[in-house]
Structure 1
Amino acid sequence: MRKGFRPSLAQRIIIAFFLMSLTVAGTFAVGTVLTVHFLEERLLSTELGGDLDQLLLMDSMDDWRHQPRPDQYFHFDGGPGPFAVPDDVVRLPQGFHELFRGDQAFHAMVREVDGRRYALLQDQSDFRRRETLMYAVVFTGLVLSLVLAALLGWLLARKVLAPVMRLARQVRHRDQLLALAPPLAPDYAPDEVGELAAAFDQTLTQLRQALKREQLFTSDVSHELRTPLMVLASSAELLLENPALDPRARKQVLRIARASTDMRDLVQTFIQLARVETGQRALSPQADLAEVAGELVEHWREPIESKGLRFDYHADAMPPGLYNAPFLRAVLGNLLRNAWHYSDSGRICLTLTAVGFVVEDSGAGIPESFREAVFEPFVRGERERGDGLGLGLSLVQRICAHEGWDIRLLPVAPHGCRFEVRLI
């Protein structure tokens, strides 16, 4: 659905000035026109009525011939020649009227005395031209006032919004988040913009504190979790060396070893991603796609095939270049883990392409209405499965968004999922 017009604050100020000027100047222009028309009718009707009364008081037709002004024409019923009542005057009732004969304009006063109709016409062509000129002046004044109002609105909008735009530029500056910029409120007057700057300073202080806590948490996780994870991994290795370990126990120890390895990689990935997102420079190892894919295929082939699934790996093509190895390993590893976890039969296929890679499985699949939600944190595809917290695909989405990679989830017939990751 197309969104309606949403004017900016500057546009609203200009529109307000324009509408106010249109209301005031338009009211003045209409009032001027109506007043002129009303006065014209009153004055001219009084003048013509007085002239007609004087003519009616005269005794002879000779006086009538000489008395009217050059721009006036006197007519009466039964009058000879020029005194005859014209056809367009015969139908007029008594009173004041306006007549138009081509380009000529006349004002007429009609009277009936003792059953006889008298009419006095006055040529108003010159007056009409002056009146038209006055209307043009009024209209031109209205247009100029609207243009001036729009110009004043634009200038005022620039003046009023200048501190707001300055504040916006300061807010967008990256130094604000890095705690390198001084507070903004002292640079502004104690008005509405100053209050906005003070509110931003307060909110930014809270955000910086939250980022600081996250950085401290990242450091604590990096320091505190590595040791117990290494203890778990080494203990699992020692247990696997025990020949007296029965197959069921050995399977559980292998699961513990694999989980500790995955945990170590996941913690390392989260730490690196948090450092990158907070602006810290991190020197990450680089690797091509084939190298990372080869490591993960070797790691996942045994658990996938031990579950009764067929694992196909096709590396006929590969995108050029090197990529952030921990991030690439986390994305591909999580997609393979999800495929292994949610597939009970069939196959899992990893295919390297010229632009990225594809992970396809024959698992239960994900409904179309649920495909966008699976990339949110703590959302799992099948809730009845107890393993997992629903962080894998969320981490994949965050990494892809940060690295500029594109990930798409497509269905597979008759069931299953297909994740396409485009690296270039």
Structure 2
Amino acid sequence: MDFKQSLTKRIVIVFALMSALVAGVFALGIVATVHVVERKLTTTTLAGGLHRLLAMDDISQWSHKPEKSELFFAEGGQGPLALTRQLAALPLGFQEIKFHGDDFYAMVESVAGRKYVLLRDQESLEQRERLLFIVVIVGFILSILLAVLLGRLLARRVMAPVIRLALQVRHRDQVIELAPPLRPDYAADEVGELALSFDQTLGRLRKTLSREKLFTSDVSHELRTPLMVLASSCELLLANPSLDARSSAQVSRIARASNEMRQLVETFLMLARKPQDAGIQATCTLREVADAQAEVWGRLIREKGLEFIYDPQGAGIATLNLTLLQSVMGNLLRNAWHYTDHGFVRLTLSECGFVVEDSGIGIPEEQRHAMFQPFVRGDEGRGEGLGLGLSLVQRICDQQQWQVQLTTREPNGCRFTVTLSQDEGGHPRELPAA
């Protein structure tokens, strides 16, 4: 069984259970020991008392007083000393009997063929046992309460360094280079080793982030120049009047691909930086981005023999970042175009975002939760994609505090709903300009 309690509660529970076990064993031991000792003492005193009576010259000297705790009977005795039929049937030795409705200890001896019985009332012993039982129960309960109290105090002291370390890791920005190491603040124990492990892991994370920053800056510098060359060359070729229609279409495809690559590079650069350092500007509306994407992808979708439905009527007027919104919408439209062979692709704008629907092959229920993970594809046999489009969409939405949701259409197909950041009034939030 997997317990979900905190470590402090687990320590208290274990401490209380251990104390309950020890206290219970001791309580049972005390009760059993007292019971055995009382029985042996009663046996010894009854045997001694009976032997003293038998040593008397005249047994009739025994004063039979029923109100006393002991009663004496003898075979052939007269009056109160007379041995009843029940007592006469008792075997020799020590035993417990019920006599006249009360519980008694009985010691039976036989001397010269004559049976003697000495009885002792159990009431006084039972009272002592009840008192002992109450004392043991109260002691057991008090020991449990004391164990819980001590367990809480000890757990707080034991867990204090761990809680302190957790708060330091949670509230201190350990990724920046100026953050001091955690290890010197703790003793050379298990918590100190844990702090050292955090320092080592965070050190490796710093190095990884530094390499990523260098990589993204290198990519930005190295790819922008050839992309600008491609774009300018395509513009020059398209301006050439001697270029035939087929060649012009091919050059247009190259220009469009280079423009998409440039936007993709800018998107990755923005995602690699912190939102406050990325220089994200709100430069366009949802309708403007959707119009441009509908023009590009609408033509490709229709060329595939599909129906493209574009409904921009409900678009809001908030301004958003062109590169990020274009990447999200473009990847979703590309995904719909790629996985739809028959039917339609629909782009619908709303006050809070947009919806991309298709009548394609759909996504099985068991794969739906993993579709936004990197290198996960809906149909591995389709095309040469790496399965990074939806992962990029998820990363952009996470950074911009947007929401993307995947649902299944009936009888087949997918529906991607993107909800842009909203203010307290439920309206799309305008992204701050740099």
Q: TM-score, normalised by structure 1?
A: 0.89
TM-superposed CA distance for 1:404, in Å, is 3.2
Q: Is the 8 A contact 2:64 2:72 kept in 1?
A: no
Matched, 1:252 2:247: no
Distance 1:138 1:323 in 2: 75
Hey, what does 2:234 align to over in structure 1? 236
Q: CA deviation at 1:61?
A: 5.1
Residue 303 of structure 1 corresponds to 300
Report the CA distance shift for 1:232/1:206 in structure 2 as closer, same or farther (over 3 A).
same
Change over 3 Å in CA distance of 1:394–1:116 after alignment to 2: same
Query: How far does residue 324 in structure 1 lie from its aligned partner after superposition?
Result: 3.8
Kindly report which structure 2 residues correspond to 1:183-198, keeping only aligned pairs within 5 A, or say none: 183-198=181-196
The aligned residue for residue 10 of structure 2 is: 12
Q: 1-side partners of 2:125 and 2:409: how far apart?
A: 87
Structure 1, residues 160-201: CA drift from partner, whole Å, max 9, x if none?
111111011111124212233211111111121111111111
TM-score by length of 2: 0.87
After TM superposition, list the pairs within 5 Å mapping 1:34-53 onto structure 2. 34-53=32-51
Q: Report what 2:73 is aligned to.
A: 75
Match of 1:201, SS? helix
Tell me by how many angstroms 1:69 deviates.
9.7
Q: 2:280 — aligned with what?
A: 283
CA contact (8 A) 2:64 2:80 kept: no
Aligned-pair CA distance for 1:331: 0.8
Q: Which residue of 2 aligns with 1:358?
A: 355
The one-letter code of the counterpart of 1:334 is N
1:140 aligns with 2:134: no
Instruction: Give the AA of the match of 2:227.
Output: L
How far apart, CA to CA, are the structure 1 residues paired with 2:100 and 2:22?
36
Aligned runs of 1:48-63 on 2, under 5 Å? 48-60=46-58, 62-63=60-61
1:421 lines up with 2:418 in the alignment:
yes
SS at match of 2:274: helix
Sort the Cα spacing of 1:391 and 1:105 in 2 relative to 1 into closer, same or farther, 3 A.
same
Cα distance in 1 for residues equivalent to 2:364 and 2:120: 89
Cα distance, 1:84 vs. partner?
3.6
What is the CA distance between 1:90 and its match in structure 2? 5.2
The equivalences for 1:116-131 within 5 A come to 116-131=114-129
Provide the C-alpha distance between the structure 1 equivalents of 2:100 and 2:286, rounded to a whole number of angstroms: 91
Q: Deviations over 1:133-177 (max 9, x none)?
A: 222222222222222222212111111111111011111124212
Give the whole-Å Cα distance in 2 for the aligned partners of 1:206 and 1:389: 28
Output the amino acid matched with 2:142.
L
Contact 2:281–2:320 (Cα < 8 Å) also in 1: no
* Aligned equivalents of 2:76, 2:315: Cα separation in 1: 112
Does residue 329 (structure 1) correspond to residue 318 (structure 2)? The answer is no
Alignment partners' CA distance in 2, 1:270 and 1:332: 16
- Cα distance in 1 for partners of 2:53, 2:233 equals 133
Measure the CA separation in 2 of the matches of 1:188 and 1:168.
Answer: 13
Which digits, 9 at most, give the CA deviation of each residue in 1:381-424, with x for residues without a partner?
A: 34444343322111011122333333233334454332222335
Give the 5 Å matches for 1:158-169: 158-169=156-167
CA distance in 1, matches of 2:265, 2:380: 24
- Residues 14 and 154 of structure 1 are in contact (CA less than 8 Å); yes or no, is this contact kept in structure 2? yes
Q: Secondary structure at the match of 1:65?
A: coil
Count of residue pairs brought into register by the alignment: 421
- SS for the counterpart of 1:169 is helix
**Residues 246 and 211 from structure 1, CA distance in 2 versus in 1: closer, same or farther, beyond 3 angstroms?**
same
Q: Does 1:409 align with 2:406?
A: yes
**1:314 — aligned with what?**
311
Residue 426 of structure 2 aligns with which residue?
A: none
Tell me if the contact between 1:285 and 1:325 (Cα under 8 Å) persists in the aligned partners. yes
Find 1:390's aligned residue among 379, 387, 391: 387
**Cα 1:376–1:82 shift into 2, 3 Å:** same
Instruction: Find the aligned partners of 1:217 and 1:142 in 2 and give their Cα distance.
Output: 67
Please state how far the C-alpha of 1:118 moved relative to its aligned partner: 2.2
The answer as to whether partners of 2:375 and 2:388 remain within 8 angstroms in 1 is yes
Give the Cα–Cα distance (whole angstroms) in 2 for the partners of residues 102 and 315 of structure 1: 103
